[in-house]
Amino acid sequence: MMSLSVKWPLGTMSFLLSSLLILLTVSTPSWGQSSETTSPKASDGTPFPWNKMRLPEHIIPGHYDLMIHANLTTLTFKGTTAIEITASQRTNTIILHSNHLQISKATLKKGAGERQSEEPLRVLEYPPHEQIALLAPEPLVVGLPYTVVIEYAGNLSESFHGFYKSTYRTKEGEVRILASTQFEPVAARMAFPCFDEPAFKASFLIKIRREPRHIAISNMPLVKSVTVAEGLIEDHFDVTVKMSTYLVAFIISDFKSVSKMTKSGVKVSVYAVPDKINQADYALDAAVTLLEFYEDYFSIPYPLPKQDLAAIPDFQAGAMENWGLTTYRESSLLFDAEKSSASSKLGITLTVSHELAHQWFGNLVTMEWWNDLWLNEGFAKFMEFVSVSVTHPELKVEDYFFGKCFDAMEVDALNSSHPVSTPVENPAQIREMFDDVSYEKGACILNMLRDYLSAEAFKSGIVQYLQKYSYKNTKNEDLWNSMASICPTDGTERMDGFCSRGQHSSSSSHWRQEGLDVKTMMNTWTLQKGFPLITVTVRGRNVHMRQEHYLKGADTTETGYLWHVPLTFITSKSNSAHKFLLKTKTDVLILPEEVEWIKFNVGMNGYYIVHYEDDGWDSLTGLLQGTHTAISSNDRASLINSAFQLVSNGKLPIEKALDLTLYLKHETEIMPVFQGLNELIPMYKLMEKREMNEVETQFKAFLIRLLRDLIDKQTWTDEGSVSQRMLRSQLLLLACVRKYQPCVQRAEGYFRDWKEANGNLRLPSDVTLAVFAVGAQTPEGWDFLYKKYQSSLSSTEKEQIEFALCTSQNEEKLRWLLDQSFKGDIIKTQEFPGILRAVGRNPVGYPLAWQFLRENWNKLVEKFDLGSPSIAYMVMGTTNQFSTRARLEEVKGFFSSLKENGSQLRCVQQTIETIEENIRWMDKNFDKIRLWLQNEKLELL
């Protein structure tokens, strides 16, 4: 599944490059802390024969025959599922999953072919575990083929998961209904009774009944359509390959499609609502190119005859990798050449590449259980970078992709973080795994490993892994074992399962002589939470290194964690990367000669931060202020990030970090500018929450003075590379929101012309956000934007208008906006988490957003699901910039009152920890910032 890149640009903690991970979910009862009850009672009061959350392993499904008949008028569906099973031990009971389905009949067929005997099965339901038990009159014989046939009915789900209802309006204003599926992680059981765990792989033969005015699509191509009654058609789809239940998909709609063939003969199609099918071409071309790239890169042909990409009008995640039928939010797939922004083109390309990477990583080879979700998601996130840098070089993903590592470190620096691979059991815990640690940290440590092994060796390792485990399930260590049997391509040889290097290895690839044990090394990154802080002290030619667990706000914390850190560095005397594997708490390396400066973590390829003791920071600050281009833009961004991380744990004074940012006056590249904004904007956001108006105003003015030259240089056009265009869009928005007059006046002029042309004037898409944000500040402008929103067919334009509406300083308008988007009539409910967060970032709106979250908590959990990334996003978005003790007590009080309906969520622990850190940080640094702002150095800006 794809995390949804945040489209809410400014004033968000993680700014443009953050990843929202608004994902999917499942309606769950409240999950108690313990998953095992002593003697559970079925819903009819009789004892239920199984007390564990996980299914027993002795009944193995091999194949499902599934018939689904949905009625899009009554919003109900009927189904029959026939599951071929075998038993590996004698048992009377078959335990499987079912959630919110009314089962009318269950029978057991014994044997195969014509001579099957049939007997009824008694059905017991246990809703707390979403399980049913089928009781056979006599025990199943080990190894014999049986078929379980279940007839059932259900309602189309009103949420975003299971088999759910979606609607859209035609240009003429008619509301049309369709039905689509979203099963990951635990919602296949809402559409048909099944063994709903990733390790129970089986093949599926799917039949869908529909009216003639609709079409049905599923994982496999259509084989035939049969008329079963007047006005009722049954579509038969081909049998799938062996796969997990969460990848099954079917859609009944009136979508239109466009298609192309890949070189190897796979038919690729994009499906969308009829009014938007003209926006499908960009994604179709990208999908063909990317599918061809992956077939080549993985050396494994895509195993299905077709790959459909469908844009669903109501969709909670960014996208979902169902095998052969990937599904997307409309904004993640449809590209309007007239109005879509540069970041939209980038987002669509990355999302399609993510879902297609899953066809191998995730679908062909699947994690055994959700604790290793990162094997799916970290890999797909990393492959976005690997594939798109080759297939779409003009997007220059290497310019900003690894800003994702900073986003991951933001949560990974908290004590409430979790290891990449971590035990989970109940649905809420499973949903909580879809976070920045599984996706972004997963991708960052894979990038670090690739940098360490070499791109070629890394590729051979993953190809071997995919070939060995095709159609199977894997654990963390299976990947490392595949990697460990590959050696880097630089004069190493295999010995006893390690790659060992002869003495002739050059110092520039100094990964130490004793050989590399990939599994031991990578376990330090996946089995313990957090990341290391490397402290570097230079004494002449000797460089002393020390590692410790970095935790926000902690001056010294000894957790005893040790990492195997593949360090890289450049110096004033050598700009080629030198390498050193730090496996112990401290070590020393010796340089060939003394240097003026040394910079570790070259190109930001490592998942660690660095502190330079003594005058180390001064010499790097001097370097940036003198000739900042002596090091790469990624290196400059990582220095900005490290400096402010070190302020948080007391290693670096705030004044030194602020001094470092002064060089940004001469910066022109996207990554360091965005990183500077990522560090500086939250400072005044914390001040807004404490009503420190004077210093807050001075700080905002300093920020604009710092970037004024770069802002003034921006043309009000759509020219330049994707990075230049994304930079322009953000800088002009910042300047206008901060009321920089040259920007505001120009935006007002554009908005006036656009409004006079009734919204039909074409604005450059890179400046539209700034123009709309300025226009939304008057009541007439706001109302006009909302009117245009209702008729717009462009996802980019709608998102830009949504954001602009959220910047209003009028409380009534903001309150109305929250109500409307939650109701989901004109503004779809899928947009609500983003709107709530944007209002929560608005200095006038944040009390309203926090109040709305508290008053509507139960409804929000019903719609978006306990543990889902959407809930986490809303909790963090409304509270994690609080910086007063009174607000902290409010947050603690509210969430502890929720008991099992939210008090135990990881995002609640994360936000409480963040608020405590905000308070401590402000108490410690506010006066220093005030004095620093009065400093004569700033007069020069």
Task: Judge whether 450 and 463 are in contact, CB under 8 Å.
Answer: no
Residue 415 CB neighbour total at 10 angstroms: 15
Compute the distance between CA of residue 557 and CA of residue 444 in angstroms, rounded to an integer.
24
- The answer for residues whose C-beta is within 8 angstroms of residue 816's C-beta and 6 or more apart is none
Task: Judge whether 348 and 816 are in contact, CB under 8 Å.
Answer: no
Q: Which of 184, 295, 355, 377 is catalytic?
A: 355
Task: Judge whether 205 and 80 are in contact, CB under 8 Å.
Answer: no
What angle, 0 to 180 degrees and rounded to 10, lies between the N-to-C axes of helices 693-713 and 670-688? 160
Task: Judge whether 579 and 510 are in contact, CB under 8 Å.
Answer: yes
Structure tokens at 319: 């996208």
Residue holding tokens 């900042």? 628
Compute the distance between CA of residue 440 and CA of residue 435 in angstroms, rounded to an integer.
8
DSSP conformational letter for 440: I
C-alpha distances (whole Å) from 915 to each of 699, 888, 890, 921 are: 21, 6, 11, 10
Task: Judge whether 551 and 444 are in contact, CB under 8 Å.
Answer: no
Instruction: Tell me, yes or no, if 184 is annotated catalytic.
Output: no
Task: Judge whether 568 and 605 are in contact, CB under 8 Å.
Answer: yes
502 class by beta-carbon count within 10 Å (0-12 exposed, 13-18 middle, 19+ buried): exposed
Task: Judge whether 146 and 110 are in contact, CB under 8 Å.
Answer: yes
> Of 218, 193, 249, which is closest to residue 1 (Cα–Cα)?
249
Q: For residue 851, how far is the Cα from the chain centroid? A: 27
Compute the distance between CA of residue 243 and CA of residue 253 in angstroms, rounded to an integer.
25
Which run of H or E residues covers position 873?
A: helix 869-879
The radius of gyration computed from the CA coordinates of the chain, to the nearest angstrom, equals 28
Task: Judge whether 219 and 247 are in contact, CB under 8 Å.
Answer: yes
Q: Are strands 532-539 and 609-612 parallel, antiparallel or unpaired?
A: parallel
> Of 181, 183, 185, which is closest to residue 70 (Cα–Cα)?
181
DSSP conformational letter for 423: -
Task: Judge whether 829 and 863 are in contact, CB under 8 Å.
Answer: yes
Spell 800-820 as b/e; 16+ CB within 10 A means b: bbbbbbbbbebeebbbebbeb
Which runs of consecutive H residues, i.e. helices, occur in 587-653? 616-627, 633-648
Active-site residue numbers? 355
